[in-house]
Amino acid sequence: MSEPLNKPLSPAVSKARRKPIRFPWLLAYAVGYLIFLYLPVLLLPLFSFNDGTIVAFPMKGFTLKWYAQLGEQDTLLQAMINSLTVGAVTALVATSLGLFAARAYVRYRFKGRELSEGLVMLPLVIPGIIVASSMLVLFISLGLKPSLTTVILGHVFVALPFAVSIMKSAFDDFDQSLEEAAFDLGESVIGTFRRVTLPIVAPGIVASLLVTFTVSFDEFVLAFFLSGNQPTLPVYIWSQIRFPAKLPNTLALGSLLLLASVQLLLTAEYFRRRSTKSASKSA
């Protein structure tokens, strides 16, 4: 049914239809749109090397001093340590939860599966301010002071949908008969998981760890509400944005963070692709 009737003809026909030389409006639009997308992201690094405190053209000379000054700021370093801690713990917890849930969704048919799948995606669509304010109220009511712990609890919540969807695609193409073979050859449930399942989905796990780490590392609103007097890097940056004199340092710090995020996520993407590739190869 879905095969076109005139299949042998169609490529030639559509090529002929596209042939007349005319300005490729869509391509031009696409390129313009890319410039729009990249403008703000490339601007921070560009001006972080500018030898002046005002972000405007014409640019002054080239300098690295804004980067050099970053190392001298103790509060910044502390915020960096806070962010790394929160990110690492968030990544571990969210990925573990996501690993088991994704495994259940892909492998088993059970009552409430769809409900559960919908539920874990919910954090993606609740406005951040509502998550942040309601968690603050909850934690205070439970006697939990705002701290890195509460930030981690919040970040696991927002990172979980990412972990689940990455792990789901890692399990998706996973060939079940490999596990059955391991069972038949006498491996225990845990042994099979450790020696067969885990190695095959390992690239997916790495991807999930990296992505959830980055989600946490870049998250601002929750950390703003829940961090108390232990600021994470985005909260620190927020406090610096108000001071024009600090602007060049903020640009330098921002550029480093941009670079780190993009680097981490490109690595994650690499592992994610490898996971689908290895899974389909084994299938």
Partner 1 sequence: MAGLLRTEAGKGLALSAPASLYVGLLVAAPLGILVAYSFWTQTYVEIDKTLTWANYLEAATDPLVRHLMLRSILIAGAVTAATVALAYPIAYFIAFRTQKKTLWLLLITIPFWSSYLLRVFSWKLILGFNGVLNSALISLGLIDEPLTFLLYNEFAVVLTLAHAWAPFAILPIYVSLQKIDRSLLEAATDLGCSKLERFVRVTLPLTVPGIIAASLIIFIPTVGDYVTPSLVGGSQGKMIANLIQVQFGPANNWPLGATLSLVAMASVGFAAILFAVLATALGRRIR
* Binding of partner 1 by 152 (CB under 8 A): no
Q: How distant, in Å, are the alpha carbons of 18, 34, 156, 161 from that of 103?
A: 46, 37, 18, 14
Cβ distance to partner 1 smaller for residue 67 or 123:
123
* Binding of partner 1 by 128 (CB under 8 A): yes
Query: Nearest approach, Cβ of 175 to partner 1 (angstroms)?
Result: 18
Work out which of 134, 176, 188, 280 binds partner 1, going by CB under 8 A: 134
Q: Is the dihedral of CA 181, 187, 192, 195 positive or negative?
A: negative
Q: Amino acid letter at 243?
A: F
Q: Round to whole Å and give the CA distance between 116 and 120.
A: 6
The closest alpha carbon to 228, from 171, 152, 165, belongs to 152
Cβ distance to partner 1 smaller for residue 62 or 108:
108
Q: Are residues 210 and 265 in contact, defined by beta-carbon separation less than 8 angstroms?
A: yes
Query: Nearest approach, Cβ of 107 to partner 1 (angstroms)?
Result: 7
Q: What is the DSSP string of 102-155?
A: HHHHHH---TTHHHHHHHHHGGGTS-HHHHHHHHHHHHHHTT--SSHHHHHHHH
Work out which of 16, 21, 125, 185 binds partner 1, going by CB under 8 A: 125
* Binding of partner 1 by 105 (CB under 8 A): yes
Q: Amino acid letter at 116?
A: S
Work out which of 101, 151, 166, 206 binds partner 1, going by CB under 8 A: 101
* Binding of partner 1 by 79 (CB under 8 A): no
* Binding of partner 1 by 100 (CB under 8 A): yes
The backbone torsions φ and ψ at residue 174, rounded to the nearest 5 degrees and listed phi first, read -70, 130
- Ranges within 156-195 binding partner 1 (CB under 8 A): 156-157, 160, 164
Within 13 Å of residue 2, how many CA atoms lie on the same side as its CB?
A: 0
Query: Nearest approach, Cβ of 120 to partner 1 (angstroms)?
Result: 5
Cβ distance to partner 1 smaller for residue 91 or 136:
136
In DSSP terms, which residues pair with 62 in a beta bridge?
50
Work out which of 113, 195, 277, 281 binds partner 1, going by CB under 8 A: 113
User: 33-72 mask for partner 1 (x: CB under 8 A)?
Assistant: xx-xxxxxx-xx--x------xxxxx--------------
Cβ distance to partner 1 smaller for residue 24 or 199:
24
Work out which of 64, 68, 138, 283 binds partner 1, going by CB under 8 A: 138
Work out which of 16, 74, 108, 185 binds partner 1, going by CB under 8 A: 108
Q: Round to whole Å and give the CA distance between 84 and 218.
A: 11
